[in-house]
C-alpha cells in the first residue's frame, strides 16, 4: 500500500532556525517525586515539547543584537525573540510588545530608552514601562515576565528605584539592577479561551474534581446528602488548611522594600 508523505507547514509565528543547543528536552514526571508519589495533583499527559533556554540576564553588556525571529514558546505565556549578536552567537529573550524582525536592540549600562533595549534602572527616566527586572544586580531578571505585563518607574531615591508592579504594589529595587524597556508581548493572552476539555489535556492538565462531591474521607468538604454546603465557616484544602482569602505570604527579609502593598 502506498503512503503519501505529508509536508509539514512551518509555523506562522516561527521564522528562522534556532541553534540546537538552545533547545533541550525535559523529562515529564506527571507531578510525581523521586519515590513515584504524586506531590502535585492534576498533572499528566500533554504533547511533547522542547524547552527553549531563555537568557534572563544581562550578559554581553555593550553589545547589540538583531532580532531574527519572533517565536511561540510552549512553556510560557509571552512570545520570545531569537537574537543574533555581533559575533554570530544566538540567544533567546522575552519579546517586548511592538518589536519586529530585523530590528536591533542594545544591552548596555547606558543604552537609549527604546523598546527592547536593556539597561540599568537608574538610567531609565521616570514614567517608563519596563519588564524582566532584576532584584539583585547581575543575577538576571526575576519579576514582571508574564504576557502583557509591565512595571512603571515612579521615582529614583538614593540607592533605590521605586517601581509600581502589575499588582499595583509599590516596591523599591536597587537602581543598579537591569531592566528591559517596554511591555511584555502577547497582551491578548488574558482574553484567550479554551474551547474544549482536550485543549487543557494537551497542556498536561488532568481533570479536577470538586471537594463537595467527594466522600468525607477524601476531602473536608465531602459528605452529606444531595447538594449540601461545605458545613464549615470557611473553605479548606484537601489536607484541612484554610483556603481562599487567607494570607499565605510568609515573613521575608525583602518585606522592608515594599512601600505600598497590593490591594
Q: Look at residue 112 in the predicted model and tell me its pLDDT.
A: 85
- The pTM of the full predicted model, rounded to 2 decimals, is 0.81
* pLDDT value at 9 more than 90: no
Question: SS3 for 92?
Answer: strand
The predicted model gives 203-213 an average pLDDT of: 93
Residue 135 included in any domain = yes
Q: What's the CA gap between 74 and 203, in Å, rounded?
A: 9
Q: What's the CA gap between 25 and 255, in Å, rounded?
A: 37
CATH of the domain at 47: 2.30.30.30
Closest CA to 134 of 148, 125, 144: 144
Q: What's the CA gap between 133 and 105, in Å, rounded?
A: 17
Residue 229 included in any domain = yes
Q: Which domain holds residue 120?
A: 20-31+41-188
Q: Look at residue 18 in the predicted model and tell me its pLDDT.
A: 52
- Answer for the pair 164, 259: CB distance below 8 angstroms, yes or no: no
* pLDDT value at 166 more than 80: yes
- Domain endpoint, select from 153, 188, 223: 188
Q: What's the CA gap between 227 and 157, in Å, rounded?
A: 57
Residue 196 included in any domain = no
Run of H or E residues at 201: helix 197-202
List pLDDT tens digits, range 43-76. Answer: 999 899 999 999 887 667 878 889 999 999 999 9
- Answer for the pair 94, 78: CB distance below 8 angstroms, yes or no: yes
For residue 5, count other CB atoms closer than 10 A to its CB. Answer: 5
The structural domain count of the chain equals: 2
The predicted model gives 213-225 an average pLDDT of: 93
The reply to whether 166 and 49 lie within a common domain is yes
The reply to whether 158 and 227 lie within a common domain is no
The reply to whether 56 and 122 lie within a common domain is yes
Q: Look at residue 145 in the predicted model and tell me its pLDDT.
A: 93
Cell of 261: 502593598
Residue 8 included in any domain = no
Amino acid at each position: 500500500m502506498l503512503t503519501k508523505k505529508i509536508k509539514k507547514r512551518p509555523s506562522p509565528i516561527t521564522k528562522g532556525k534556532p541553534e540546537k543547543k538552545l533547545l533541550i528536552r525535559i523529562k515529564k514526571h506527571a507531578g510525581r517525586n523521586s519515590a513515584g508519589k504524586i506531590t502535585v495533583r492534576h498533572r499528566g499527559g500533554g504533547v511533547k515539547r522542547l524547552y527553549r533556554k531563555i537568557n534572563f540576564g544581562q550578559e554581553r553588556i555593550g553589545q547589540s543584537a538583531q532580532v531574527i525571529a519572533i517565536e511561540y514558546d510552549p512553556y510560557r505565556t509571552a512570545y520570545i525573540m531569537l537574537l543574533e549578536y555581533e559575533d554570530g552567537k544566538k540567544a533567546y529573550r522575552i519579546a517586548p510588545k511592538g518589536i519586529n524582525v530585523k530590528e536591533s536592540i542594545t544591552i548596555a549600562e547606558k543604552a537609549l530608552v527604546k523598546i527592547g533595549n536593556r539597561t540599568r534602572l537608574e538610567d531609565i527616566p521616570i514614567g517608563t514601562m519596563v519588564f524582566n527586572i532584576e532584584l539583585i544586580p547581575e543575577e538576571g531578571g526575576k519579576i514582571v515576565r508574564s504576557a502583557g505585563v509591565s512595571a512603571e518607574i515612579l521615582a529614583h531615591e538614593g540607592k533605590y528605584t521605586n517601581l509600581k508592579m502589575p499588582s499595583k504594589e509599590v516596591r523599591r529595587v536597587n537602581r543598579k539592577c537591569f531592566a528591559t524597556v517596554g511591555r511584555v508581548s502577547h497582551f491578548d493572552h488574558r482574553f484567550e479561551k479554551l474551547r474544549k476539555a482536550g485543549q487543557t489535556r494537551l497542556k498536561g492538565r488532568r481533570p479536577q474534581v470538586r471537594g463537595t462531591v467527594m466522600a468525607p474521607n477524601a476531602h473536608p468538604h465531602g459528605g452529606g446528602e444531595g447538594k449540601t454546603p461545605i458545613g464549615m465557616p470557611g473553605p479548606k484544602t484537601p489536607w484541612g488548611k484554610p483556603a481562599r482569602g487567607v494570607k499565605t505570604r510568609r515573613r521575608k527579609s525583602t518585606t522592608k522594600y515594599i512601600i505600598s502593598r497590593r490591594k
